[in-house]
Structure 1
Amino acid sequence: MAEHPHASIVREGYEAFQRGDMDALRGMMTGDCTHHVPGTHPLAGDYKGIDNIIDGYYSRLYSETGGSFRVELRNIFVDGRGHAMTVHHVTADRGSKHIDEMGGIVFRIVGDKITDLDECVADLDTAADFWT
C-alpha cells in the first residue's frame, strides 16, 4: 500500500532537516507557514513566515547545539483531511547539558504544502532546562 501523500511530505521534511537541506524544506512549506514551539525557554514562541522558521528557529537548533541536534522520526499518523501527526526522538548536547526526549509535531497541510507546525514535547521543564 502506498504511503499517504501527507505522510510522504512529512517524512521528506524530516529527512531534509536531518541532512541540513534547508532549501528542500523551503520548498515544502508555504511562505506564511508558522511553527509553534512550546515552553518558556529562549527558543519558544511562534515563528511566522518561512524565513523566521528556517533562519530564526532551525538554524538556532543547530548553532545552539554545535550541530549535535538530531531528530529521529518514529511514527506518522494522518487523518486524510490535511493533518499529520508525528512522534520523534530528539537528542542534542549544549555545553554540559544533554537532552534525550520524545516529542512530536502536528502538521497542517494544504494541497502539497505545510502551512502550520505545532510542536509538542514530552516534558516542558526538561526542554526549558536544556535551552535556558
Structure 2
Amino acid sequence: MTEHPHAALVRKGYDAFSRGDMDTMRTLLAEDAAQHVPGSHPLSGDFKGQDAIIGLYRRLAEETDGTLRAILLNVLVDGRGHAVSVHRFTAERQGRRIDEIASIVFRVVGDRITDLDECLEDIDRSNEF
C-alpha cells in the first residue's frame, strides 16, 4: 500500500528538520505558511511566513545547543488536507531536560504545508523548559 502524499510530505519535513536542512523545509512550506506554538514562553506565538518559521527552528536549535530532537512516531491523515503527526520531543537547555510526546496538526494545500498547529502533552512543563 502506498503512503498518502500528505503523510509522505510530513515525513519529509521531519527528516529535513532532523538534518537541519532548512532549504528542503522551504520547499515544503507555502510562502505564507503559519506555525502556531502554544504556551507562555519566549518561543510561543504565531510565526507567519517561511522566514519566520525557519527563524523559529534556528532559534530552537540555538536555545538547546543542538540537542533538540523530534522523533516521528506516527502520521495520521484525513484525505481532506489535514495530517497529524505524533512525535517524541527531547532537548536540553540550561541544565534542564525535556522528554515528552507532542503533536502537530498540519494543513496541506496542494503539495505545500500552509499551517502547523502544535499540541503538547504537558504545556506547563514546556513553559518551564
Q: Structure 1: which 5+ runs fail to align?
A: none
Q: Which residue identity lines up with residue 25 of structure 2 in the other structure?
A: L
Runs of 4+ in 1 over 3 A off after TM superposition: none
Give matches, 1:37-116, under 5 Å.
37-55=37-55, 57-116=56-115
Map of 2:8 onto structure 1:
8
- TM-score for both structures, normalised by structure 2: 0.99
- TM-score for both structures, normalised by structure 1: 0.97
How much does 1:29 deviate? 0.6
Mapped to 2, the partners of 1:75 and 1:6 lie a distance apart of: 13
Q: Which residue identity lines up with residue 7 of structure 2 in the other structure?
A: A
How much does 1:95 deviate? 1.1
Mapped to 1, the partners of 2:36 and 2:108 lie a distance apart of: 15
Q: Which residue identity lines up with residue 40 of structure 1 in the other structure?
A: S
Map of 1:18 onto structure 2:
18
Residues 67-120 of structure 1, C-alpha deviation per residue, up to 9 Å, x if partnerless? 000010001000000000010000000011100011000000000000000001
Identity %: 57
Residues 35-54 of structure 1, C-alpha deviation per residue, up to 9 Å, x if partnerless? 00000011000000110000
Partner SS for 2:127: helix
Give the alignment's Cα RMSD to 1 decimal: 0.4
Mapped to 2, the partners of 1:108 and 1:31 lie a distance apart of: 14
